Amino acid sequence: MRYQVGGSLHSDDPTYVVRQADEKLYASLKAGDFCYVLNSRQMGKSSLLQRTSYRLREEGHSCAYLDVTRLGSENTTPEQWYKGIILSLFYDLNLAEHVKFKQWWDMQAGISPVQKLDLFVEAVLLPNVQSERIFIFIDEIDSLLSLSFPVSDFFAWIRHCYNQQAHDPKFQRLGFVLFGVASPSDLIADKRRTPFNIGTAIELYGFQLHEATPLLKGLGEVVSQSEDVLREIIYWSGGQPFLTQKLCQLIVHTALETSNRKIVLPPETASYWVEQFVLQQIIQHWEAKDEPEHLCTIRDRLLFNEQRAGRLLGLYQQVLQAEENQTSGVPTDDSREQTELLLSGLVEKHDGYLKIKNPIYRSVFNSEWVLRQLDNLRPYSQAFNAWVISGYQDESRLLRGRALQEVLDWSGRKSLSDLDYRFLAASQELERRETQQRLEAARAKEVEARLAQEKRTAKLQRFLLVAVCIGLVISSSLGLGTFILYRQAQKSESQARSSEIQALVSSSEGLFASNRTLDALIEAIKAKRRLQKHCFGLGSRMES
């Protein structure tokens, strides 16, 4: 017996594991619901598609398959893309015997591509396909994200088809189901036009042990204690379809290489044997052994977008740490980061928390691996790691100045982990404090210099005041001395003049007594004139 590793299983493959999703998708489509299966890669979406469409065809319904990756790439025009859809439906549903496609297409010139699709379904597909129901399976829907034009019109058209069921009974024959690795919000943001809010989400979970019994037959042929071995395989893979099938196939291959063609395990050793087998065949040197690629696909999805890789790794690091510390974990919140991490396939939702999907992922993408990837992304990894090791206390490890500004410019184009943003915020806070301290130190120095200058100015002012006071005293003393001398000079002058006048009077009296009347009169006149002049001088000085 051969197990299928990668790709889709045929509808009648004996190793196909029927899950809850098989019944839910079938029942929802039969009930007329619009369905979508959006999940990570290699979870069995294509096998589910093949199995469900086969089941519906067996009941007489018509099924068309659209692989979006074959309809075009980023260089495809809307006209080409919609024409590709119409052609795929045209040939899948065998409409060539009813309509000449080229003639019909040329007749629709002048209308928009989505109008052509709508007209084709209503006027060509529904009238000419005679089966009771028509189901359109659209695979790889995430390829729409690479187109150069928006596809909201396409989703709005699907919604229109379902809305028409209430008014036009023929649309009740039509059903759609989408498959891909994307979230509804990635595909269309306008909630008024999206069909996802009226559709049914089909969740895909890993194989449960009771579901995986079809895998026992092949294991039973090559290994003893096959049920215990399968239980351990499911434990290590978490029921992840690709890993489960791969482990089964590796055991078969190992058994075929042995001489006795069957591996006989001692009693109660199945757990240890499978553990060692997984370590040797899957985990150790995993990149070299990852064929077909699975673990590398998860790695690449985490690291593909450099702008967001830090954020995804940081979120996954929180999930890892929560499990290592045995705490509740990271609560689910349907954020963009959590959605991307879920679509990588690395984690899953469990009781409202994010959990690592299986022990293989936990061993391969462990804490050391995450730290290495983050170090490759961070230009400041050495300082960051030292700061984390210090318990976020060693401020000497924080960034400053130009280094901080360069990292801030770099981070503006990235989406980093919460711990990275905490590191940058602490660096900015330290930079702010140190800048504040420098400003305060500069202000204190400025105040100190101003006080010293004011002290020097006050000292000079006191010196000048003393000098002025001394000058004033000296000036006052000199003025007083000058005044005294002046008064003394005036007094001496007055006395001299009085003596002169007195002499003239005495001379006049003597001459008069000597009968020298004329000479006496002359001396008397001189005395009078001198007296008048003396009195005039005294009056002038008194006025002044």
Q: What is the predicted pLDDT for the residue at 504? A: 64
Residues 76 and 120: their CA atoms lie apart, in Å, by 21
Q: Which two tokens stand for residue 60?
A: 């007489």
Q: Which two tokens stand for residue 78?
A: 């809307």
Bridge partner list, 350? 353
Which of 303, 311, 437, 298 has the alpha carbon at shortest distance from 360? Answer: 298
484 vs 537, higher pLDDT: 484
Q: What is the predicted pLDDT for the residue at 538? A: 52
Residue pair 51/122 in contact by the 8 Å Cβ criterion: no
Write out the E strands in 31-173. Answer: 35-38, 62-67, 134-139
* Model confidence at 540: pLDDT above 60: no
In what order do the strands lie in the sheet containing 174-180? 62-67, 134-139, 174-180, 35-38, 200-201
> To the nearest whole percent, how much of the chain has pLDDT over 70?
93
* Per-residue DSSP letter, 198: G
Residues 445 and 177: their CA atoms lie apart, in Å, by 75
Q: What is the predicted pLDDT for the residue at 239? A: 97
Q: Which two tokens stand for residue 394?
A: 């060693």
| 138 phi/psi in degrees, rounded to 5 | -110, 115
Region 273-294: what's the mean pLDDT? Answer: 96
DSSP secondary structure string for all residues of 322-343: HHHTT---EEP---HHHHHHHH
Those residues with Cβ within 8 angstroms of residue 144's Cβ, 6 or more apart along the chain or in another chain? 68, 151, 154, 187
pLDDT per residue as tens digits for the range 84-125: 999 999 999 999 989 999 999 999 999 999 999 999 999 999
Residues 31 and 175: their CA atoms lie apart, in Å, by 10
> To the nearest whole percent, how much of the chain has pLDDT over 90?
56
Bridge partner list, 136? 64, 176
* Model confidence at 216: pLDDT above 90: yes
**Single pTM value for the model:** 0.76
Q: What is the predicted pLDDT for the residue at 466? A: 81
SS3 263: strand
Bridge partner list, 141? none
Q: What is the predicted pLDDT for the residue at 278? A: 98
Residues 496 and 490: their CA atoms lie apart, in Å, by 10
Residue pair 343/301 in contact by the 8 Å Cβ criterion: yes
Q: What is the predicted pLDDT for the residue at 435? A: 83
Residues 401 and 41: their CA atoms lie apart, in Å, by 45
Residues 523 and 142: their CA atoms lie apart, in Å, by 148
Q: What is the predicted pLDDT for the residue at 468? A: 77
Average pLDDT, the chain: 88
Give the lowest-confidence range in 28-37, 472-481, 506-515: 506-515
Residue pair 341/298 in contact by the 8 Å Cβ criterion: no
Q: What is the predicted pLDDT for the residue at 446? A: 87
Q: Cis omega before residue 292 (within 30°)?
A: yes
Q: What is the predicted pLDDT for the residue at 369? A: 96
* Per-residue DSSP letter, 60: T
Residues 350 and 347: their CA atoms lie apart, in Å, by 9
Confidence of residue 519 (pLDDT cuts 50, 70, 90): confident
Amino acid, single-letter form, for residue 209: L
Those residues with Cβ within 8 angstroms of residue 16's Cβ, 6 or more apart along the chain or in another chain? 9, 10, 47, 51, 214
